Structure 1
């Protein structure tokens, strides 16, 4: 039982306790359920789920290979659900919604779309390795109707790398598996900071371009 394995660890938080309950009930398949949910609801952090699963594997409560495989299955299932959301949303509906956002024009959207068409494969693969964007990248792939025969392998391989790193980190760190969430969390804030800088730069550029047009 995972609870027994966790007895010697520091007191589990409420969310870690929830993860433990699911894994105790469903075994390695529970990892797939949790990771699929994490893809659909990004506030649920994989950096909390996977290291704990790796720790459980180090204690013999779960099979290490099964944890990694099921985690990847969960990642793909969650990604396909978001892909389907993007496909349902569609290009025209997305453009209508996005064009209502201040400082974003249809031409901006079309340029972004063209960029995704050219670099979509690379974006989907490497996007699976970046916190926050790991899940969201599936939506534009669905909007652009990237072929599933391409989307699924790219998602699976990218997810496999991410999942393996976090699971093995938890496996190696043992009772200190919580350190993984701290380091990934710090990296996530770096990503957020970079995104904010890009957004601010974009807004400044749009405002200046608008002023030049008026002049």
Structure 2
């Protein structure tokens, strides 16, 4: 496989190329497992490169999909365990020490995840950055492991399939996938940062403005009694 990898995110593309060339499908799976644990390793490079390798005959499409999906599940499971071992009590103890936040906010988040957690885990696998981070609250909230693993496998399979097929179709131009998905990553990150800023601003303002005490209702005083003559 002779991909043009010299300019893609420093040595990441070359490192992934070596893994795939040396180990084939298992190498791609290892790269994706590490990408889940360390989001700075971008799947938008590793997966299209794997698709290019499929086109070059270095491995089969089935092997690429099976191993990269397995790598996604293994990496996500490790983060799930971190959240699970950290535990709800430790999270609340840490939360209470943080400025500008309230325990009620964490309770609301727990209720939201209990209601929408399955959607968050499934669709989160197809969103750059959050595809890794979503495993931690899933473990923290102790989402049933079979459900977590099933949603992770399905969502990751679809994400991997799309990027591997893109790399396969583009051939030597597989690096174009990184450019387009990289734009999506920046948009998602920008929205997250904006949401965090707005959250902090709202909290600061709510603490600066003291609550207005309720005005007691005005009751009419009884008038003088009229005595009959």
TM-score tier, shorter chain, comes to: over 0.9
Q: TM-score, normalised to structure 1's length?
A: 0.93
- Whether 1:128 and 2:125 are equivalent positions in the alignment is yes
Per the normalisation by structure 2, the TM-score is: 0.88
Alignment of 1:9-88 (within 5 A): 9=4, 11=6, 13-88=10-85
- What is the Cα deviation at residue 18 of structure 1? 0.9
1:187 aligns with 2:184: yes
Matched, 1:211 2:208: yes
Separation in structure 2 between the aligned mates of residue 131 and residue 98 of structure 1, nearest angstrom: 26
Structure 2 residue 169 is matched with structure 1 residue 146: no
Q: Hey, what's the Cα distance between the residues in 1 that align with 2:94 and 2:126?
A: 28
Query: Which runs of 5 or more residues in structure 2 are unaligned?
Result: 213-229
The Cα of 1:196 is off from its aligned counterpart by 1.3
CA distance in 1, matches of 2:210, 2:161: 51
Q: Report the aligned-residue RMSD.
A: 1.4
Any conservation in 1 of the 2:30–2:71 contact (CA below 8 Å)?
yes
Question: Tell me, which stretches of 5 or more residues in structure 1 are unaligned?
Answer: none
C-alpha deviations, 1:104-129, integer Å up to 9, x for none? 11111111111001111011101111
> 1:59 deviation in Å?
1.1
Match of 2:195 in 1: 198
Number of corresponding residues: 210
> 1 or 2, which has the higher helix percentage?
1
Which whole-Å CA distance do the structure 2 matches of 1:11 and 1:154 have between them?
Answer: 35
Question: Greater shift after overlay, 57-66 or 93-102?
Answer: 93-102
